[in-house]
Amino acid sequence: MSTDQHTEGEGRQPTHTHGPMTHAHDHYHVTHHHTDGDKFEHRSYWHTHEHNHANLTHSHDYDRNAEQSDHGKEAHIHDHAHPVD
């Protein structure tokens, strides 16, 4: 199922689209761990396996070259039971 994507506004980089892809790299997951009262701390973990990224249209303020080179440093969300579906 495909969803029409657009941006309401543009950052320093104009709106652009990345096509779907499947690849493998170390990727990170971040959770919010409840501590005391109303406090949370970030906990992260990482692993490597083949996974996909759906089509994505977006804008951002950071450099597009950094977007590509730093992709493996970004936290990812995907279905671990079916990471390439």
- Look up tokens 């971040």; give the residue: 30
What is the predicted pLDDT for the residue at 39?
94
What is the predicted pLDDT for the residue at 15?
95
Other C-beta atoms closer than 10 Å to the C-beta of 27 total 19
What is the predicted pLDDT for the residue at 82?
80
Strands 13-18 and 56-60: antiparallel
pLDDT digits (tens, 9 = 90+) for 62-71: 998 998 888 8
Mean pLDDT of the 20-47 span: 91
What is the predicted pLDDT for the residue at 59?
95
What is the predicted pLDDT for the residue at 28?
87
Question: Residue 46 burial by CB count (10 A; 0-12/13-18/19+): exposed, middle or buried?
Answer: middle
Asked if 22 contacts 84 with a C-beta cutoff of 8 angstroms, the reply is yes
pTM: 0.67
Largest CA distance in the chain: 43
